[in-house]
Amino acid sequence: MNLTRRDLLKSAALAPALAGAATVVKYPKGKADACILLWLGGGAAHIDTFDPKRKGDGKKVAGSYYNAINTAVKDVQVCEHLKHTAPLLDRCALVRTLSHDIVSEHGAASNLVHTGRMPSGTIQYPSIGSIISKELGSKDKAVPSYVVMGYPNITRDPGFLGAKYGYIYLTQTETGPNGFVRPGDVDNGRQDRRETLLAQLRKGFEQRNPDDQMIRAQSSISEQGFKMAGPKFMNVFELGKESKTLRESYGGEFGQRCLLARRLVQSGVRFVEVSFNLNFLNGSGWDTHNDGQVKQHLLIQDLDQAFATLLTDLEKTKLLDTTLVVIATEFGRPPEFDSGGGRGHHSKVFSGVLAGGGLRTARAIGVSDELGVKPVDRSVSIPDFHATIHCALGIDPSKNLYAGDRPVPITDKGVPVTELFG
């Protein structure tokens, strides 16, 4: 039986009054086994992408910067520069009423969206990628469970879960992590001898320090690293094995990252974050203050081409039903234009996208007001968004993780969007 959102909230509210009786909330369980997160760092304008409103003038008249177009979903429109995504929107669910209270700081808002929690002075919370890595485990010891394309950032860290659930990061798509590339003068025999000697040293060190969990974690990471330096993982980076037509259909650097994300998931990686941080396209990235607004369409077109191709490629390779694709950002932008013709920050309502993953898609969740300033129907908190992602991957969003002896639920009272589950 699938419960509605109201049922879940009612169960939670009644729990204290049940005189000691145990109350078990049955969360929906999806069939996805991997997730690709497309991160639009900087704060993508919801009203210029997935929640278009009346058109403004770029100066004094507030509103969207572009015209809206129809999509494959009745009565749901998107920005005109999402022309490749529009006919595929039936594979997606737009979450148009994400909301939180951090409006001034990119770092704090990014941390909130990645961890689902406000920062704490006593505990470092794990990112959603690390949680999924822990809960689902590795599909294959020869590949990592968590990969980030972009430079390392604390918001993606494993926090109290420890280094074992950290990520492998990539700054380009062609060769894989430099640390996994064997020097030319080290053949297989020499490498085997090195690994044998290191294993002996590691075992002795662990025996002399039996209670040091950090040593054990680092040893485990080192051992897995040697496995990942093998052909199964390193061959993933040979994008040249894909057809020229497919590579061109993905587009430029961001598109090639999305192609690599598909190959990583296909190889067994559980969670891949693809950062869209190409500031040079419009000079500011998604943080469209001042002149960044003028060429924002270049970013949107790049996203559109890569995202649409990723969906059709996952579908063609029969991975879309088991791969959840998420588009997320730290906050949106207001309908008003600043003195330079750009937009400031806005966190009271903004958009996210969930695609594939076996969800009941072809719908928009939540309604914002006439200018996209606040929710008028169905506000979705960041914990709710996280709970939806976890449930899509078969993870109980209320399960406790442990920071030492301290229980920490996977989400901060997050309630999934239950109508996305069949």
Task: Find, among 398, 288, 328, 250, the residue nearest to 36 by Cα.
Answer: 328
Instruction: Please indicate, yes or no, whether residues 39 and 140 belong to a single structural domain of this protein.
Output: yes
Instruction: Please indicate, yes or no, whether residues 307 and 193 belong to a single structural domain of this protein.
Output: no
Contact 19, 270 (CB under 8 A): no
Instruction: Please indicate, yes or no, whether residues 124 and 247 belong to a single structural domain of this protein.
Output: yes
Per-residue pLDDT tens, the chain, 422 aa: give them.
456 655 665 555 555 444 445 567 889 999 999 999 999 999 999 999 999 999 999 999 999 999 999 999 999 999 999 999 999 999 999 999 999 999 999 999 999 999 999 988 889 999 999 999 999 998 988 899 999 998 888 999 999 999 999 999 988 777 666 545 555 565 556 655 655 665 566 666 667 777 666 656 555 555 555 455 567 788 999 999 999 999 999 999 999 999 999 999 999 999 999 999 878 889 999 999 988 999 999 999 999 999 999 999 999 999 999 999 999 999 999 999 999 999 999 999 999 999 999 999 999 999 999 999 999 999 999 999 999 999 999 999 999 999 999 999 999 999 999 999 98
Q: Does residue 23 lie in a domain region?
A: no
Q: Does residue 220 lie in a domain region?
A: yes
Task: Find, among 392, 308, 314, 362, the residue nearest to 93 by Cα.
Answer: 362
Instruction: Please indicate, yes or no, whether residues 280 and 361 belong to a single structural domain of this protein.
Output: yes
CA distance 314 to 324: 10
CA distance 296 to 171: 23
Instruction: Please indicate, yes or no, whether residues 136 and 282 belong to a single structural domain of this protein.
Output: yes
The CA distances from residue 9 to 289, 407, 414, in Å, are 39, 22, 10
Q: For the chain, what is the domain count?
A: 2
Q: Does residue 125 lie in a domain region?
A: yes
CATH number at residue 332: 3.40.720.10
Instruction: Please indicate, yes or no, whether residues 193 and 272 belong to a single structural domain of this protein.
Output: no
Q: Does residue 15 lie in a domain region?
A: no
Instruction: Please indicate, yes or no, whether residues 222 and 352 belong to a single structural domain of this protein.
Output: no
- Per-residue pLDDT reduced to its tens digit, 403-417: 999 999 999 999 999
Domain limit, last residue, from 169, 199, 228? 228
| Paired tokens of 401 | 């993780």
Task: Find, among 116, 143, 119, the residue nearest to 131 by Cα.
Answer: 116
Task: Find, among 99, 135, 114, the residue nearest to 398 by Cα.
Answer: 135
Residues counted in the chain: 422
Q: Which residues constitute the domain of residue 54?
A: 28-180+242-420
Residue 373 neighbours by CB under 8 Å, 6+ apart: 334, 335, 346, 348, 349
C-alpha triplet 305, 382, 406: angle, nearest 5°: 130
- Token pair 């296909």 is found at 266
Q: What is the CA radius of gyration of the chain?
A: 22
Q: What is the DSSP letter of 268?
A: T
Contact 175, 221 (CB under 8 A): no
- Per-residue pLDDT reduced to its tens digit, 9-48: 555 555 544 444 556 788 999 999 999 999 999 999 999 9
- Token pair 């052909």 is found at 231
Instruction: Please indicate, yes or no, whether residues 338 and 309 belong to a single structural domain of this protein.
Output: yes
- Token pair 């039996």 is found at 210
Q: Does residue 144 lie in a domain region?
A: yes
Instruction: Please indicate, yes or no, whether residues 199 and 165 belong to a single structural domain of this protein.
Output: no
Contact 143, 268 (CB under 8 A): yes
| Paired tokens of 203 | 């075992």
Instruction: Please indicate, yes or no, whether residues 315 and 402 belong to a single structural domain of this protein.
Output: yes
Domain limit, last residue, from 202, 228, 254? 228
Determine phi and psi for 419, rounding to 5 degrees.
-70, -5
Bridge partner residues of 146 (DSSP): 271
Number of Cα atoms under 13 Å in the Cβ half of residue 65: 26
Pairing of strands 406-409, 168-170: unpaired
Task: Find, among 368, 394, 417, the residue nearest to 46 by Cα.
Answer: 368
Q: Does residue 384 lie in a domain region?
A: yes
Note the Cα 332 to chain centre separation in Å. 16
Instruction: Please indicate, yes or no, whether residues 209 and 312 belong to a single structural domain of this protein.
Output: no
Determine phi and psi for 189, rounding to 5 degrees.
-60, -45
Q: Does residue 11 lie in a domain region?
A: no
As a dihedral over the C-alpha atoms of residue 29, residue 9, residue 94, residue 102, rounded to 10 degrees, the angle is -120
Instruction: Please indicate, yes or no, whether residues 414 and 284 belong to a single structural domain of this protein.
Output: yes
Contact 65, 335 (CB under 8 A): no
- Residue 266 neighbours by CB distance under 10 Å: 15
Please name the amino acid found at residue 381: S
Note the Cα 399 to chain centre separation in Å. 20
The CA distances from residue 354 to 18, 92, 242, 263, in Å, are 36, 6, 26, 20
CA distance 265 to 393: 14
| Paired tokens of 75 | 């009565």
Q: Does residue 6 lie in a domain region?
A: no
- Provide the angle, in degrees to the nearest 10, between the axes of the packed helices 106-115 and 128-136: 20
Q: What is the DSSP string of 41-96?
A: TTT--GGGTTS--SB--SSSS-SBSS-EEE-SSTT-EEETT-TTTGGGGGGEEEEE
Task: Find, among 149, 150, 121, 146, the residue nearest to 133 by Cα.
Answer: 146
